[in-house]
Structure 1
Amino acid sequence: MKRSKFISNLSCLGALSVVTPGGLLYSQTAFSETYSFMKNSIQLIRNATLVIHYAGKKILVDPLLAEKGAYNPFAGGERNPTVELPLSVEDIIENTDLVLVSHTHSDHFDSVAREVLPRDVKIVNQPADEDYFQKLDFSNTHTLQEHLLWNDINIHRTGGKHGSGEIGKRMGTVSGFVLQAKDQPTIYIIGDSIWTEEVAQAIEEFKPDIIVANTGGARFPGYEENPILMDEEQTISLLKASGNARVIAVHMEALDHCTTTRASLQQIANSVNGEVEKLIIPKDGEEIFL
């Protein structure tokens, strides 16, 4: 549902109650006064590309903006991306205040993003990619070592492992991000990582309300036993360790080497008692209000 349409629908509720996605019941007055549902949202664009409305700012995460089939296959399958964008590039980047780049693999910061993003937009990147961004003609990049306070939003960088064994070494360094602000839910964007101690430690340290996990179970030929993203089994481990957080599963059905699908993940989650209620699997273009 479009953001404007949703808000319009709320205005027609009158004295009725509102039930949030977390199952909480509010009167319309209490809802408007105390709940950030209309202010904060996470929209899956495609793959790991997100638009996050948070604390009054629009944050774009890991922009893969090319049209369907623009890039060569990763695993000998279809050309990537395997699906079209659900919105125009103009709509996706319009009024963006901040861009978070977890790492610079082409499915997280592609050539189209390099071309179309405003030259003065704030870009936050990991230390491993500092040289990469210094060579581009953006004027407002920031290499995040550990923590940044930006417009009253605390941004923390977290670690992860983009696979294990030899393929993990080849995939290089990746990062995640935690967003915190006063009276706002804490959001943990894991990034391209398998289920690992660093992810578990971040959950323990920051106690997020929302976790965004890249769960495509991506694999390369010759390394099929070592996924470079969480697969179904690892996502269940994440769910079990996530406490009361809701887990939003993304990075599926957009690249040829991602083997976990929305259906396969949902099927496995349905078989695990007490965990499926915490899992959200959005479609491309779907906006989840927090």
Structure 2
Amino acid sequence: MDRRSFITRGVGLLAMGGTATGVAASPAPAEQATTEQVTAEHATAGVKITWFGASTLQIEFKGRTLLADPCFGEGEAAFVMGDPNEMFDLATGPSVKAHARNTPLRRSKLRAPDWVILSHAHEDHFDQSAARALAPEVPFLLPPQDVAKIAGHGFTALDPVDWGESRSLAVGTDSGSARIDITALPAAHSETPEIAEVLGKGNGYWLRFTDGDWSRSIYWTGDTFGTPPVVEAVAAMGRPDLMIAHLGGVGATGSLGKISMGAEDLMPFVAAIQPKQILPIHHTTYDLFLEPITALVALNGEGAMGLDVLASGSTLWLD
């Protein structure tokens, strides 16, 4: 089986919209006005992180917006992808099917992004609806392996960032010193190297938000396990203020084996890198995610980890 071929989609479902619609086109409802008031109150307080289900994150800092792994599809056919939870012949790949979304998408909270950042381009991380909805000129930071695929959707401002490479994004403040520094880190989509090779090379990211003397860091894992090379790369960056971890135990019942962490995989990873807070994502939204988030809550016992479990559409402030 070719790399990433297990997510090959049906031809008839790939048509792109001719114009950018969705996120930027809808008028702001009352709920969004309330959000804007809160944003103003926290304008100098830190980083605003809103989880929209799956691995979709909206990260706001000093009036600029990063959109991570956008997935906008809803209903019984939220996105189309092969099913890694089934047993199949590795030479041919799994059945390509529609996957349902179980939680609502809080569209009223979405803002038009200044940048899109992808951990990788599997359809549970960048779905067909997002490919149609986003403006074709929006800048992307993404793994080099996914450039051709995303360009095929009509996007033109693609900046491939390989492991160890960094980008600095300027954000507007009176001081002129605010920025977001982003470094791509290794991600191991499977603990079995041969399976990881099939799934393709994705990214984790270290994001540092700086405004003068103020600074906070986020380690966004992407789909990875805490393998020794991953732990080594993350530890070299320092201790993260927030670890955003992809869970769900995807693939545990299928031919590929587990291809995203479960709670028992996360625990030693956390012990190794010692994040101050942990935001688990990549759970609950789809039936694709096999392990419920309650498994991690139970393992956390009396709260030894600084665990923040959000409902889809909820916000965490990193002050």
1:275 aligns with 2:304: yes
1:65 equivalent to 2:72? Answer yes
Q: Give the counterpart letter for 2:74 in structure 1.
A: E
- Taking the aligned partners of 2:169 and 2:228, their CA distance within structure 1 comes to 28
Taking the aligned partners of 2:55 and 2:272, their CA distance within structure 1 comes to 22
Matched-pair contact (CA < 8 Å) for 1:69–1:81: yes
Offset at residue 238 of structure 1 (A)? 2.2
Pick from 103, 107, 123 the counterpart of residue 120 of structure 2. 103
C-alpha displacement of 1:242 = 3.1
In 2: Cα distance, 1:80 partner to 1:181 partner: 35
- Give the whole-Å Cα distance in 1 for the aligned partners of 2:44 and 2:231: 27
Matches within 5 A, 1:178-257: 178-182=206-210, 183-207=214-238, 208-219=240-251, 221-223=253-255, 226-257=257-288
- Give the SS at the match of 1:255: coil
Q: Is the CA contact (8 Å cut-off) linking 1:61 and 1:99 kept in structure 2? A: yes
- The TM-score with structure 1 as length reference comes to 0.80
By how many angstroms is 1:287 displaced? 0.4
Counterparts of 1:1-290 in structure 2 under 5 Å?
5=34, 36-37=44-45, 39-70=46-77, 71=79, 74=83, 75=85, 80-88=99-107, 91-92=109-110, 94-145=111-162, 146-151=165-170, 152-165=179-192, 166-182=194-210, 183-207=214-238, 208-219=240-251, 221-223=253-255, 226-270=257-301, 275-276=304-305, 278-290=306-318
In 1, the alpha carbon distance for the partners of 2:233 and 2:64 equals: 24
Report the CA distance between 1:8 and its aligned residue.
6.1
| Equivalent-residue separation in structure 2 for 1:261 and 1:128 (angstroms) | 31
Q: Which runs of 5+ in 2 are unaligned?
A: 1-30, 87-96, 171-178
Amino-acid identity (%): 22
- Give the whole-Å Cα distance in 1 for the aligned partners of 2:134 and 2:34: 27
Give the C-alpha shift of residue 51 in structure 1: 0.6
- Partner of 2:125, secondary structure, is coil
* Whole-angstrom distance in 2 between the partners of 1:114 and 1:140: 14
1:7 Cα shift? 8.3
- Equivalent position SS for 1:181: strand
What is the Cα deviation at residue 104 of structure 1?
0.6
In the other structure, the counterpart of 2:173 is: none
Q: How many residues align?
A: 261
Q: Deviations over 1:19-71 (max 9, x none)?
A: xxxxxxxxxxxx98xx954x411111011011111243111000111112214
Q: Distance in 1 between matches of 2:180 and 2:100?
A: 32
Match of 1:130, as an amino acid? V
Unaligned stretches of 5+ in structure 1? 12-30
Q: Is the 8 A contact 2:58 2:65 kept in 1?
A: yes
| Contact map agreement 1:220 1:257 (CA 8 A) in 2 | no
